[in-house]
């Protein structure tokens, strides 16, 4: 862990909020650095650059004052150019300036507006703990060593483009508005590890890129609550893939299939439920026919790779002791009615997480179908494992809202008949190349 694990950037008017955030994080034994005493003009000081560079996480306290702070913008630009994970923390509901939107629009926000301060600070601490415990890196669209320079070049290109327009207004007319928009979109697409895809009938699906890589799949023999079918082995995925940021929702299923099979139609943003593995294949076939795509379910190895997000512990945020502390914070301080609701029903997607790579609801909510037949893992190392050629059951992953969440760890495997339908089972989509939308 670096000497200072978290850097907190804020406008001067928001220093009180930054102090509260810093206090919450430091109570967990995590050291922080902040913008206190940093000059508001000119270049960043050597002190500031050093503090940012040795930080694992860069928290941005966002407000209307942040929009107007050139010093904060310079700090964000510097952190982005060093490929440090940015974590925006919204304390006011105000539109972002164009420049901050460029830097922050693709990251995963925490929203403190209109919610319990204790709850959002607890969520912040859990997320920071997860990032620091494993010193993870966000997956990059490119895994080549020059990724940071690619990001920096993209940022510099956009700033040069903006400066040229200011100094020569006629240039915009000559190039044309369309060309300008396309150029900016190209830069954003290069520097983002997230994409969204609009379904034929309206709603969008969001995807996060997972680069090729090697990881340890399964669980250690001494891990609590493990099963014998989780034999740990090394897996290499030679090709990157896009995976759904969230589970497929009821409105997304409705847009493709024209129906909603969920017995409990809780709302459009809730995960679709009561769908079998066979039903998912029908959904995927119909979607692919309509968009000339190659969407599919993730393999079991792809699912665990994305869930772990670079971690080697039971959960992406730590081992069982951390999970139980998180459960204590998130569950045992609630009313009895809230507790019963949490363990007996699903919730809108995006309520739990994200993990360090940006995926939500990897533990609980609904179990998720994978492409594979269920069976014993291949002994020894495996490359792009497809699972058994045939079997009786299909794999499910992630647990669901009925079971005690600390039992739903990264390596935990489930199984079910491919035609079985449960009120606790859904899925998320995977694709190697996203079609244009």
Highest mean pLDDT among 196-205, 294-303, 335-344, 393-402: 294-303
Please tell me which residue, 296 or 400, carries the higher pLDDT value: 296
Measured CA to CA, the distance from residue 327 to residue 249 in angstroms comes to 25
pLDDT tens digits, residue range 353-396? 788 889 998 887 899 999 999 999 987 899 999 999 999 999 99
Using CA of residue 367, residue 368, residue 374, residue 378, what is the dihedral sign? negative
Contact 322, 428 (CB under 8 A): no
pLDDT at residue 81 is higher than 50: yes
Neighbours of 249 (CB within 10 A): 23
Q: Cα angle vertex 192, ends 186, 198, to 5°?
A: 80
Please tell me which residue, 328 or 302, carries the higher pLDDT value: 302
Mean pLDDT of 341-351: 71
Domain boundaries, the chain: 6-133, 147-191, 195-431
CATH of the domain spanning 195-431, picked from 1.10.645.10, 3.40.1390.20, 3.90.1580.10, 1.20.200.10: 3.90.1580.10
Question: pTM for this structure?
Answer: 0.59
Mean pLDDT of 156-175: 50
Mean pLDDT of 35-62: 73
The pLDDT score that the predictor gives to residue 381 is: 93
Residues paired with 204 in a beta bridge: 198
CATH no. for 6-133: 3.40.50.10140
Measured CA to CA, the distance from residue 166 to residue 6 in angstroms comes to 36
Measured CA to CA, the distance from residue 394 to residue 136 in angstroms comes to 31
Domains 6-133 and 195-431 agree in fold: no
pLDDT tens digits, residue range 189-232? 433 588 888 887 778 999 999 999 999 999 888 887 788 899 99
The pLDDT score that the predictor gives to residue 356 is: 86
pLDDT tens digits, residue range 104-148? 765 667 788 877 888 788 888 887 877 676 554 433 333 333 333
The pLDDT score that the predictor gives to residue 345 is: 66
High-pLDDT (> 90) share of the chain, %: 35
The pLDDT score that the predictor gives to residue 39 is: 45
């Amino acid at each position: 862990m670096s000497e200072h694990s978290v850097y907190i950037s804020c406008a001067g008017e928001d220093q009180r909020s930054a102090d509260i955030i810093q206090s919450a994080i430091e109570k967990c034994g995590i050291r922080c650095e902040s913008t206190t005493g940093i000059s508001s003009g000119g270049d960043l000081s050597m002190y500031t650059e050093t503090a940012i560079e040795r930080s694992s996480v860069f928290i941005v306290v966002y407000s209307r004052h942040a929009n107007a702070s050139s010093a904060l913008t310079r700090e964000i630009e510097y952190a982005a150019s060093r490929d440090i994970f940015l974590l925006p923390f919204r304390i006011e509901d105000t539109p972002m300036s164009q420049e901050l939107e460029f830097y922050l629009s693709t990251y995963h926000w925490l929203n403190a507006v209109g919610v319990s301060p204790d709850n959002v600070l607890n969520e912040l601490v859990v997320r920071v703990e997860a990032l620091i415990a494993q010193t993870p890196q966000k997956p990059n669209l490119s895994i080549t060593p020059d990724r940071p320079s690619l990001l920096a070049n993209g940022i510099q290109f956009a700033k040069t483009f903006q400066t040229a327009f200011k100094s020569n207004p006629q240039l915009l007319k000559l190039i044309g508005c369309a060309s300008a928009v396309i150029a900016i979109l190209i830069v954003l697409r290069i520097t983002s590890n997230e994409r969204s895809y609009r379904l034929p009938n309206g709603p969008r699906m969001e995807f996060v890129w997972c680069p090729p890589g090697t990881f340890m799949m399964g669980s250690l023999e001494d891990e609590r609550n493990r099963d014998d079918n989780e034999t740990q082995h090394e897996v290499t995925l030679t090709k990157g893939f896009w995976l759904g940021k969230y589970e497929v929702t009821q409105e997304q299923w409705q847009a493709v299939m024209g129906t909603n099979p969920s017995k409990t139609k809780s709302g459009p943003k809730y995960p679709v439920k009561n769908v079998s593995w066979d039903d998912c294949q029908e959904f995927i076939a119909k979607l692919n026919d309509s968009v000339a795509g190659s969407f599919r379910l993730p393999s079991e190895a792809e699912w665990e790779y994305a869930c772990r997000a670079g971690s080697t512990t039971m959960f992406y945020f730590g081992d069982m002791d951390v999970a139980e502390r998180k459960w204590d914070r998130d569950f045992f301080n609630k009313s009895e009615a809230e507790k019963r609701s949490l363990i007996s029903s699903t919730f809108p997607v995006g309520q739990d997480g994200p993990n360090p790579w940006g995926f939500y609801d990897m533990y609980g909510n609904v179990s998720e179908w994978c492409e594979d037949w269920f069976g014993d893992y291949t002994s020894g190392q495996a490359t792009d494992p497809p699972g058994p050629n045939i079997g009786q059951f299909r794999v499910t992953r992630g647990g669901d809202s009925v079971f005690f969440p600390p039992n739903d760890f990264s390596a935990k495997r489930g199984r079910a008949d491919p035609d079985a339908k449960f009120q606790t089972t859904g899925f998320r989509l995977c694709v190697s190349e996203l079609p244009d939308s």
